[in-house]
């Protein structure tokens, strides 16, 4: 092989390697920005009740303050909220994006109950 051909192969290899490194950096930046947009964690205390009929159509349960005002519409993919009906508890969870709707309350996906 000639020196010119060896230099061309080395240059091509360096370009491929730098492209690979750039792709890995781009993917890791994309992953960390997805983490930054995750739903905010919310903690609130109140009495857990069944949702019932409402003007808005989301949530299986609600969290109400001591005056009976609905603080949050609740759902949970981890906890059976019926087990806490009528009890005053602190719920922690994630705000569901795109809510509130139709003048309803904020929507919370409950992850823990204390």
Q: Could you read off the pLDDT of 59-96 as tens digits, one per residue?
A: 999 999 999 999 999 999 999 999 999 999 999 999 99
Which of 13-22, 33-42, 93-102 has the highest mean predicted lDDT (pLDDT)?
Answer: 93-102
Average pLDDT over residues 92-113: 92
Its pTM surpasses 0.75? no
If one counts the domains in the chain, the total is 2
Q: Based on the domain organization, do 76 and 106 belong to the same domain? A: yes
If asked whether residues 50 and 67 sit together in one domain, one would say: yes
CATH number of the domain enclosing 107: 2.40.50
SS (H, E, C) the chain: CCHHHHHHHHHHHHHHHHHHHHHHHHHHHHHHHHHHCCCCEEEEEEEEEECCCCCCCCCCEEEECCCCCEEEEEECCCCCHHHHCCCEEEEEEEECCCCCCCCCCEEEEEEEEC
How high is the pLDDT of residue 22? 76
């Amino acid at each position: 092989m000639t020196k010119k051909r060896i230099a061309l192969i080395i240059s091509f290899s360096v370009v491929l390697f730098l492209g690979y490194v750039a792709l890995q950096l781009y993917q890791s930046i994309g992953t960390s920005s997805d983490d930054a947009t995750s739903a905010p964690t919310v903690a609130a205390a109140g009495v857990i009740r069944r949702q019932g009929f409402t003007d808005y159509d989301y949530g299986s349960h609600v969290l109400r303050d001591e005056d009976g005002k609905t603080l949050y519409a609740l759902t949970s993919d981890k906890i059976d909220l019926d087990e806490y009906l009528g009890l005053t508890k602190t719920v922690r969870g994630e705000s569901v994006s795109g809510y509130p709707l139709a003048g309803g309350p904020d929507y919370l996906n409950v992850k823990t109950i204390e």
